Structures are given as C-alpha cells and as structure tokens.
Amino acid sequence: MARLMGLTGNEAIAYAVKQCNVDVVAAYPITPQTIMVEVISEYVHNGEINAEFICVESEHSAMSACVGASLTGARVFTATASQGLALMHEMLYIASGLRCPIVMGVANRALSAPINIHGDHSDMMGSRDCGWIQIYAENAQEAYDWIIQAFKIAEDPRVLLPVSVNIDGFILSHSMEGVSVLDDEDVLSFLPPRKPVITVDPDKPITVGALCLPDYYFEIKFQQIQALKEAYNVIREVNREYEKLTGRRYDFVDSYAMDDADAAIVCLGSTAGTAKAVARWLRSEGKKVGVVKPWVYRPFPEEELIKALGDVKALAVLDKACSFGAPFNALCSDIIATLYRYGKDIKVFNCLYGLGGRDITPNDLKAIFNDALEIAKTGIVKEYMKFIGVRE
C-alpha cells in the first residue's frame, strides 16, 4: 500500500534511504544537501534504522569511509553538493575503480568562484567521466523512486558500480511536494539485504587497491567500461520490476509530445517540468513541439535518445553547466556525437542557462521553442550557442 507524504526533495531521498535499510552513512553537511543527511541522522538516532552514521571532517573523508564500508559488504549511502563533490573528486574514481556499489544523493549546486549556493549542474558535470552511473530527477517523486532503484542497480553482480541521484539545488531539495511512498515491507521485498560478491575479510585476506602498472591498468578500466554497458540491461530490468510494484514507469529517457514534433527541447532535471508545461501551451496554439528528458545520463542512452527524437527537425539542447572553451557544453556535445553516429540530420543549437541558480522562465522556454520551430522550417541555424537570461 502506498501513501502520500509531503516531502522536500532532500527529505524524499532521506526517507527512501531509510526504507532501503542502509548499513553505513558517512557524510559531511553542505548547502543545499545538509537536510538530506540531517534527516538520516535523526532516523539513526531515533532507532528507525539500524545504521552506523559516521561524522567525518570533510567530503573527501566521507567518500573514503564509504569505500571502506562498501568493501566490507555493507550497503552504503552518502550525499553532497558543489564544493563537497569537488573535494570528493579523487575518491569518486576510487569508488568506481574498486567496484563499490555506493549510492549518493547530490543536491546540484554551482561551483565557486565566486561563492554561490544555488543550483546548477556544474558539480556533477565536472565529474561526469568518473565511472559512476548518473541519474537526474525532475521532481521529489522521481528522486524517491530512483534512490530505491539505484541500490538495486548498483549492487547487481553484473554492475557493481556507484550511482549518483541528482536533484536541482533548492528548486527540488527545499521544495515540498506530495510524494507517494511505499510501505517498508514492499521496499524490502523489492530490495532485499545486500549479498556482496567479494568482501574484505581478515580471515580471507585479499588485495585491494594495489599498484597497477601498464601491464594491467588498461584491462581493469576496460572492465569498468563493460560494467557500464552491462548496466544498460540491469537498469531496464530494475525499471520494469519497479513499475510492477508501483505502477510508475521509468526508463533511460522520458519524452513528452514527441510523436509528431517538428522541434523539441532536451534538458535534464527540474527544467523538464516547466518545458513540458510550455510545450502544452504551444501545442494549444497548434505548434508541434515536444520535450525529451534523459533520466540516465551515464551510461549515455544513445539508442533511447534516437528513438525518442523520432522525426524531429530541430533541437534545442539546454545545458545548466558550462564546458569552458569547448564548442558545445556537456549534454549538447553528447547529443551531437550521438546524432553523428546514427547518421541523423537534425539541426541542433545549444542553450546555456541557469548558472548560479538563475531562473529560466516560461517565456524564455517559449522563445527557445519558437527559435527551434523557425530552424525546423528554414533548415538554417544562425546561432549555435545561445546564452539564456545573461546580461551582456
């Protein structure tokens, strides 16, 4: 039986973590993530979950503790944002390289300097190639649902890789929504206790994190590449199983009004909700527009993206993080590479928006849709990069 609770994005993730019966949480507070781990610490203090909460001196230490705990066979969670994720950067690679199925909640926030506490995707995009599975949620319900699925995906013996579930800082982390939560027994039936493949055990010593020179390093990285490919099948299996349990359908890509769309927006996270509302508005005026939202960013869902785009003629790709000095920003670069690989002649332009938490308004999105419709009509892209809302 499901029930409705009023939860912020941070609280929704914390509640899901409680129901997943984690063994160890190691975390350090940082805005706008702090409430996430504060709530979990209250659950531990109140005896609502039988977990060890490790208070550490930094985010680097938090991920280090998570790696150690995961290697012993524990189910492990952590959370961070912005500078905290940047401080973790070294350990993100170690977590994936040692095949630790850690789940991490990230309340995405801009990176300094200058100091800014508001939401953009600079933090996780700076770590997009660290070997983690990466998921972006549109709302608190999706954040709750993806955390539960993330543990099952990460711990599958075919995967054994860490997963980050991302929510937009303040927009989702601090905004309350109605979230349909499962009974504890249903979560337990979906996600039984972890059964580790290999563990650190003093009675059965193994070598972990050994020096690896050119003779084997490449092969170990290739195993991670293969694991991310295998994650495709596991993610889909977990999504279908979760749909049977909840009735809520998840996949690599979510699309809206794309069946006959001439022009579309592609974006991550909460922006997709506003883009869908604007698309409905324009559809009422007879304009054929749609929205494509990747839920899973790594592994990048090439086939699913191509299928979702269908026969669209023009595409506006929205990036909430800047790839300084690059021809396009991160999401747009991946999409252009995918279109080239599949031989799709879709006109694309990139929109950089929302840095430091700057709002993107319905009127902004309406203008982007109209630009894309004009390109779909003429086949001419006059500006390959647009800066939305910036004061020049």
Contact 79, 107 (CB under 8 A): yes
Residues 151 and 264 in one domain: no
Look at residue 278 and tell me if it is in a domain: yes
Last residue of a domain, one of 204, 229, 246: 246
- State both tokens at 189: 């039936």
Is 392 within the bounds of a domain?
Answer: no
The domain total for the chain is 2
Mean pLDDT over 54-62 rounds to 98
* Strand boundaries in the chain, DSSP class E: 3-8, 24-27, 52-55, 76-80, 103-108, 133-136, 163-168, 176-181, 253-256, 263-266, 289-294, 296-298, 314-319, 347-352, 385-387
* Token representation of residue 49: 């979950």
Q: What is the pLDDT of residue 78?
A: 98
Confidence band of 392 (pLDDT split at 50, 70, 90):
confident
Instruction: Tell me the pLDDT tens digit for each residue of 302-311.
Output: 999 999 999 9
298: domain range? 254-387
- pLDDT tens digits for 177-224? 999 999 999 999 999 999 999 999 999 999 999 999 999 999 999 999
Query: Which domain CATH number covers 367?
Result: 3.40.50.920
pLDDT of residue 2: 87
Condensed to tens digits (0 to 9), the pLDDT of residues 71-110 reads 999 999 999 999 999 999 999 999 999 999 999 999 999 9
Residue 32 CA: distances (Å) to CA of 27, 102, 104, 148, 241: 13, 21, 14, 21, 32
Tell me, yes or no, whether 227 and 270 share the same domain. Answer: no
CA distance linking residue 294 with residue 252, whole number of Å: 6
Q: How far is CA 379 from each of CA 262, 282, 314, 376, rounded to the nearest angstrom?
A: 11, 21, 8, 5
- Residue 258 located in a structural domain: yes
Q: Indicate which CATH number applies to the domain containing 14.
A: 3.40.50.970
Between CA 335 and CA 315 the distance in angstroms is 10
In degrees and rounded to multiples of 5, residue 282 shows phi and psi of: -70, -35
Let me know whether 61 and 29 are in one domain. yes
List, for residues 7-39, the tens digit of each pLDDT value.
Answer: 999 999 999 999 999 999 999 999 999 999 999
Backbone angles phi, psi at 345, to 5 degrees: -95, 75
If one counts every other C-beta atom within 10 angstroms of the C-beta of residue 245, the result is: 14
Q: If pLDDT is split at 50, 70 and 90, which confidence band does 133 have?
A: very high
What pLDDT does residue 10 have? 98
Same domain, yes or no: 211 and 321: no
Same domain (yes/no): 129, 38: yes
CB-side exposure of 388: number of CA atoms within 13 Å?
A: 30
Q: Is the dihedral of CA 232, 249, 295, 261 positive or negative?
A: positive
Query: Both 144 and 258 in a single domain?
Result: no
